[in-house]
Amino acid sequence: MQRFLQSKPSISSADIRAARKKYYSIASYYNHNVFVTKKDKRLVAALFISNLVIQMGSLHPGILKEVQNEFNIGDSYGGLLQTVFVISYMIFAPLFGYLGDRYSRRWLMAFGVALWTLMTLIGSFMQDYRLFLLFRALVGIGEASYSTISPTIISDLFLSDLRSKMLAIFYFAIPVGSGLGYITGASGYSLFGNWRFGLRFTPCLGLIAVLLIIFVMSDPPRGEIEGRGSLQAGNYYKDVKSLLKNKSFMLSTLGFTCVAFVTGALAWWAPKFIALGQKIISRSQVDNTTEVSLIFGAISMLAGIVGVPLGSMLATRMRNRYPSADPLICSFGLFISAPFIFAALVLANSNTTVVYFLVFLGSVSLNLNWAIVADILLYVVLPTRRSSAEAFQILISHALGDAGSPYLVGVISDALKQTTETENMVQAEDNKTEVDFRTLQYALFTTCFIEIIGAICFLITSFYIIEDKEMAIIESEGTLEKGDQPTNHMYADDPRLNGSEANLTIPS
């Protein structure tokens, strides 16, 4: 706070107190006197459905084996399908973040989901691996536009506890959609004998999502819900510089990167690892990866159903008494998840049922942070920088998280395997399964270590979260264009107000 005052001498302590009083007055008033209109419900439903469809349409590991067989490719080219998707996703996220802070978010999202729908559908008909690879990259562009911009729509429609609840609903779609993606992908192959049908189902839903975005959604003024008037985006270089100096944003982004690392590695390798454990338990060479993928998808979906709203509920109830509760809940979730995942990895060749239960508990703990991390970003970052902040967080979390974690785990496993094979030149098939299991197990232990690092990042975030939240409030007061006034009476005509409370004035 002192450093801020030294760098901004024109802002007095009285200004800080006034800005803080105004924001918390509006937040308190909003929590007690505003309800969700039917229009708002339809908009959130449209965002949820679109997010669910996009998560379902991903190329899941459950059908990777069939993809490799058809294109006659090995593990490296199979992994490249995910890599090119994530790379294009990362490259275009900052572009859409810049555009989302300056132009119509509704049309940008409609374009992105339409592109995602077309590229997913057309790509499913490609018979050449290189063309299929190209279309997977184009799918990443479409997803980048939606994922970067959509949370900022919620931030400009809702405030305080209600915003947290709506974010929980929105991010609820990620684990649920991913779980449904496992199921639809494996079911498409089982029903039609062709993995391509799993990619052709979701584009039909994608068309519905595009229509919902165009005809149901609106683009609310940036920052107006927080009583700050209609804010205008500033210099992009200054925006990025400000984000880099925002300790809470950067630390929570690093913590979320660790979450992405773990979820990416487990989603890619856990079905194969559990299937190897089943081979050892049954002493059979039958490959149950497809069946395991279905079960793993169902577990991921159920863990999301429990974990995402649980995290949001804990944050909503605790933050009024403990202002640093949000990052502490994220830290707690990762600290709790690590031993569950570790135990699941250790017991995978002993009892599959126990492993599934431990994976569920670890995933629930991991899912506590989804809505909370998004909420942290939205209240420590200026409204006109939020799309850029979302893009930056996406770039970092994917570049250092799930873009590399499946590959890194594979590299560690292969390196350990080569060492083991050198020591044991002659291997029976049973021994090969044991070697594959052990090397992949040791490689996956890295996820537990990364979870602890993420927990520490969130713990450190709690030291700065209050200060950075107040800095965002103060700074936003200085971004109003000349002639604009803070909207102290902004709720007077708001249809969401409860009856006679509509005439209540917000203290400034």
Structural domains of the chain ordered from first start: 36-481 (1.20.1250.20)
Does the structure show a pLDDT above 80 at 103?
yes
- Considering the chain, what is the average pLDDT of its residues? 80
Mean pLDDT for the stretch of residues 44-55: 90
pLDDT, tens digit (0-9, with 9 covering 90-100), for 220-230: 877 666 655 55
Give residue 477's pLDDT. 63
Predicted confidence at residue 233, as pLDDT, reads 55
Whole-number percent of the chain with pLDDT over 90: 29
Q: What is the mean pLDDT of residues 418-437?
A: 67
Confidence (pLDDT) at 492: 41
pLDDT at 388 over 70: yes
For residue 14, the model assigns a pLDDT of 56
Greater model confidence, 486 or 315: 315
Share of the chain above pLDDT 70, in %: 80
Coil, strand or helix: which one is 262? helix
pLDDT band at 500, cuts 50/70/90?
very low
| Torsion sign, CA atoms 53, 57, 61, 66 | positive
pLDDT at 504 over 50: no
In angstroms, the CA 232 to CA 238 distance is 14
**Which pTM was predicted?**
0.77
Q: What is the pLDDT of residue 192?
A: 76
pLDDT of residue 371: 86
Q: Which of 489, 463, 468, 319 is nearest to 385 (CA)?
A: 468
pLDDT of 13 higher than 90: no
Model confidence over 109-124: pLDDT tens digits? Answer: 999 999 999 999 999 8
Lowest mean pLDDT among 17-31, 87-101, 378-392: 17-31
Average pLDDT over residues 82-100: 85
C-alpha to C-alpha distance for 165 and 172, rounded to whole angstroms = 10
Residues 329-383: pLDDT tens digits? 999 999 999 999 999 999 999 999 999 999 999 999 999 998 899 889 988 988 7
List own/partner pairs for 351-358 with CB under 8 A and 24 or more apart: 351/281, 352/274, 352/277, 352/278, 352/281, 355/274, 355/277, 356/274, 356/295, 356/299
pLDDT at 478: 57
Mean pLDDT of 483-499: 43
- Adjacent-strand bridge partners of 497: 34
Residue 224 Cα distances to 98, 146, 160, 175, 428, angstroms: 20, 22, 14, 31, 68
How would residue 476 be classed by pLDDT, with cut points 50, 70 and 90?
low
How many C-beta atoms surround the C-beta of residue 507 within 10 A? 11
Give the pLDDT mean for 69-89: 78
DSSP one-letter code for 352: H
Give residue-wise pLDDT tens across range 124-159.
899 998 999 999 889 989 888 888 888 888 888 887
Report residue 54 as tokens: 């996009």
State yes or no: pLDDT of 507 exceeds 70.
Answer: no
Instruction: Determine phi and psi for 104, rounding to 5 degrees.
Output: -65, 115
Query: For residue 202, what pLDDT is reported?
Result: 85
Residue 190 CA to residue 209 CA, distance in Å, equals 27
Residue 102 is predicted with a pLDDT of 81
Q: Is 238 exposed, middle or buried (0-12, 13-18, 19+ CB in 10 A)?
A: exposed
Report pLDDT for 457.
97
What band does 269 get if pLDDT is binned at 50, 70 and 90? confident
- Please state the rounded mean pLDDT for residues 49-65: 79
CA distances from 170 to 44, 118, 155, 312, 367 (A): 7, 23, 12, 11, 13
- Model confidence over 273-293: pLDDT tens digits? 999 999 888 887 777 777 887
Q: How far apart are CA 339 and CA 319, in angstroms?
A: 26
Name the residue among 247, 451, 242, 491 with its Cα closest to residue 332: 451
pLDDT at residue number 12: 53
**pLDDT score at 304:** 87
Q: In this predicted structure, what is the pLDDT of residue 24?
A: 52
Q: Is the pLDDT of residue 425 over 70?
A: no
Residue scoring higher pLDDT (179 or 99): 99
Greater pLDDT, 483 or 391: 391
pLDDT of residue 175: 80
Predicted pLDDT of residue 75: 62
